[in-house]
């Protein structure tokens, strides 16, 4: 199986930067980058086995991120 060098991202990397790096490598997007109804930015790709992978940048005010913060406050 061929190997590929990873695309790394840090907390300061935007989803747009990651998606552009993926597109630059010739990996097609299944669903173009967009802002969803929950205000999170997302795009979808497919791995070599055909599994769909969601790329998401959470909006600081999103309910998902608030749930994560609450779980951390509760020690979970």
Terminal CA-CA length for the chain? 38
Would you say residue 9 has pLDDT above 80? no
Q: In three state form, how does the secondary structure of the chain look?
A: CCCCCCCCCCCCCCHHHHHHHHHHCCCCCCEEEEECCCCCEEEEEECCCCCEEEEEECCCCCHHHHHHHHHHHCCC
* Domain ranges across the chain: 15-73
pLDDT in tens, 41-72: 899 999 999 999 988 888 888 888 899 999 99
pLDDT band, very low/low/confident/very high, at 1 (cuts 50, 70, 90): very low
Question: Can you give the pTM of this predicted structure?
Answer: 0.66
CATH code reported for the domain at 15-73: 3.30.720
Q: Do 42 and 30 form a contact (C-beta atoms < 8 A)? A: no
- For residue 68, the Cα-to-chain-centroid distance in whole angstroms is 16
């Amino acid at each position: 199986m061929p190997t590929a060098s990873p695309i790394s991202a840090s907390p300061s990397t935007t989803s747009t930067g990651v998606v552009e790096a993926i597109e630059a490598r010739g990996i097609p997007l299944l669903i173009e980058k967009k802002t969803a109804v929950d205000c999170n930015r997302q795009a979808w790709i497919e791995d070599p086995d055909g599994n769909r992978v969601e790329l998401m940048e959470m909006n600081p005010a999103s309910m998902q991120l608030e749930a994560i913060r609450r779980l951390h406050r509760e020690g979970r």
